[in-house]
Amino acid sequence: RRSVRRRGAAVLAKTKTKKKHFVAQKVKLFRASDPLLSVLMWGVNHSINELSHVQIPIMLMPDDFKAYSKIKVDNHLFNKENMPSHFKFKEYCPLVFRNLRERFGIDDQDFLNSLTRSAPLNSDAQGRSGARFHTSYDKRYVIKIISSEDVAEMHNILKKYHQFIVECHGNTLLPQFLGIYRLTVDGDETYMIVTRNVFSHRLSVYKKYDLKGSTVAREASEKEKAKELPTYKDNDFINDGQKICIDGENKKMFLEKLRKDVEFLAQLKLMDYSLLVGIHDVERAEQEDVESEDNEPEDEGESDGGGIGTPPDSPSNTLDSTKPLSPGEFDPAIDVYAIKSNDSAPRKEVYFMAVIDILQHYDAKKKAAHAAKTVKHGAGAEISTVNPEQYSKRFYDFITTILS
């Protein structure tokens, strides 16, 4: 009854998982290919459980924005099978992120399940500076490895970000920050941030754009184009004649949100963010499903990541849709960024669009620019000669244009 497409419709659109016989894991082994992922699973499990013993306050206090929880595990001849014997896990501002999850309509138990029932999957999507990405096994959340500077910047903006989320009732295109952690394994510290996936957890994206509204060097490299799902850019978008065909109402709502969001970012002097655009082609996806079903072997084809027996959504996961969804359909409570193409669009599509990479602060950039002749922030980012205000206007104008 559960449509097989749900598991198969992966972001990379090449693979498909048939319903596996999986006994819902009551025992969470935190088994993963990488100790860091095991620690992440363990840590999120621990953190959400701890929070379940902390009363939800009526409102957040200033101290909550400076708080952290830290735990250090040192086992000896115990629990060595899936976990390292020594590791540390730190969660920043636990009460703030719990509140944010609530405002974004995410239940803590569901959050926990998504991140712990099965190991997060590698994604070959790249962030700035080639930062590593993972998604939760059910693809609802994205886990990004960030720098300590990013963590510092998050702390700087957290109060205002939270306030913004309160005021817009969680209705925003900004990244939905759901948790920030520091993991220490073998003496190495890794910072991770969890956000809601911009793309669908079900519908595959066959084409992806990272748009900034600037035109200097905004083109996917050859190397990038060789990937399974390349990240195209502004110039590609224009040259391809790509269209985003959404109806007037959707467009209005989208641009209203976008305007508020970028005004907020400009106020905080943040810039160099992008609009991430993903396109799901309904017909193409149906075709792929059909092909996959034909080629059906029972082997555990590596789906875009679930090598270790991905559990099907269990009945108790409140995020499950209870009825199968038809082609191009989605649950807007889960795929919050999804917008259908309008009736007159040449192809039936679903678009996923949201703002990403908001942690670059103008002052930090200027400092770096003074320090070095040329400043390069990761592949594809150019030396911006604009300030945050200008950046936001240019960004907004560009997006407005492409939606027409």
Partner 1 sequence: MSSNCTSAAPVSASKTKTKKKHFIGQKVKLFRASEPILSILMWGVNHTINELSNVPVPVMLMPDDFKAYSKIKVDNHLFNKENLPSRFKFKEYCPMVFRNLRERFCIDDQDYQNSLTRSAPLNSDSQGRFGNRFLSSYDHRFVIKTVSSEDIAEMHNILKKYHQFIVECHGNTLLPQFLGMYRLTVDGVETYMVVTRNVFSHRLTVHRKYDLKGSTVSREASDKEKAKELPTFKDNDFLNEGQKLPIGDDNKKYFLEKLKHDVEFLATLKIMDYSLLVGIHDVERAEQEEMDVEGVGEEEEYENDGMGGGVLTGSFGTPPDSPGNPLNCGGFFGPGEFDPSVDVYAIKSQDGVVKKEVYFMAIIDILTHYDAKKKAAHAAKTVKHGAGAEISTVNPEQYSKRFYEFMSNILS
155 lines the binding site for partner 1 (CB under 8 A):
no
- Interface mask toward partner 1 for 47-66; x: CB under 8 A: --xx-xxxx-------xx-x
Figure out which of the listed residues 12, 71, 166, 255 binds partner 1, where binding follows CB under 8 A.
71
Q: With contact defined as beta carbons under 8 Å apart, do 255 and 180 qualify?
A: no
Residue 304 appears among annotated catalytic residues: no
Instruction: Tell me the pairing of strands 177-185 and 188-196.
Output: antiparallel
**389 dihedral zone (left: phi>0; alpha: psi -120 to 50; beta):** alpha
Reading the block at residue 244, the tokens are 């985003």
Distance between alpha carbon 17 and the CA centroid of its chain, in Å?
A: 22
Dmax (CA) of the chain: 65
Q: Closer to partner 1 by CB, 45 or 197: give it.
A: 45
For residue 175, the Cα-to-chain-centroid distance in whole angstroms is 8
Q: Which residue has the tokens 């399940």?
A: 113
Q: Measured from the CB atom, is 78 or 371 closer to partner 1? A: 78
List the interface residues with partner 1, window 75-134 (CB under 8 A). 75-79, 81, 94-95
Options 272, 289, 304, 335, the catalytic residue: 272
**Which span (44-52, 267-275, 316-324, 378-386) binds partner 1, by CB under 8 A?**
44-52
* 338-340 and 133-135 beta bridge pairing: unpaired
91/151 Cα distance (integer angstroms)? 11
By C-beta, is 95 or 157 nearer to partner 1?
Answer: 95
Does 22 engage in binding with partner 1 (CB under 8 A)?
no
Coil vs helix vs strand at 349: strand
Residue 27 binds partner 1, judged by CB under 8 A: yes
Whole-number Å distance between alpha carbons of 99 and 57? 9
Neighbours of 255 (CB within 10 A): 15
- CB of 94 vs partner 1, minimal distance in Å: 6
Which region, judged by CB under 8 A, interacts with partner 1, from 71-79, 296-304, 323-331, 359-367? Answer: 71-79
At its nearest, how many Å lie between partner 1 and the CB of residue 187? 16
The residue from 4, 73, 168, 325 that contacts partner 1 (CB under 8 A) is 73
CB 360 within 8 A of CB 270: yes
Q: How far is the CB of 156 from partner 1 (least distance, A)?
A: 17
Q: Which is nearer to partner 1, 117 or 394 (CB)?
A: 117
CB-nearer residue toward partner 1: 27 or 371:
27
Q: Which one, 27 or 226, has the nearer CB to partner 1?
A: 27
Cβ distance to partner 1 smaller for residue 4 or 67:
67
Tell me how many residues contact partner 1 (CB under 8 A). Answer: 31
DSSP 186: T
Size of the chain, expressed as the number of residues it contains: 404
Q: Is 365 a catalytic residue?
A: no
Q: Per the structure block, which two tokens stand in for 231?
A: 């990240």
Question: Quick one: tokens of 92?
Answer: 């920043």
Going by C-alpha positions, the residue among 147, 121, 131, 257 that lies closest to residue 201 is 121
Establish if 159 lies at the interface with partner 1 (CB under 8 A): no
Q: Find the binder of partner 1 among 28, 159, 227, 259 (CB under 8 A).
A: 28
Q: Which of 16, 90, 139, 144 is catalytic?
A: 144
Structure tokens given for 377: 């922030």
The end-to-end CA distance of the chain, in Å, is 40
Q: Give yes or no for residue 169 binding partner 1 (CB under 8 A).
A: no
Token look-up 């999957």 returns: 121
Residues 298-317 that bind partner 1 (CB under 8 A): none
Which amino acid, residue 391?
A: Y
Q: Is 30 an interacting residue with respect to partner 1 (CB under 8 A)?
A: yes
Q: Give the footprint of partner 1 on this chain (CB under 8 A).
A: 26-30, 45, 49-50, 52-55, 63-64, 66-79, 81, 94-95
Active site residues per annotation? 144, 272
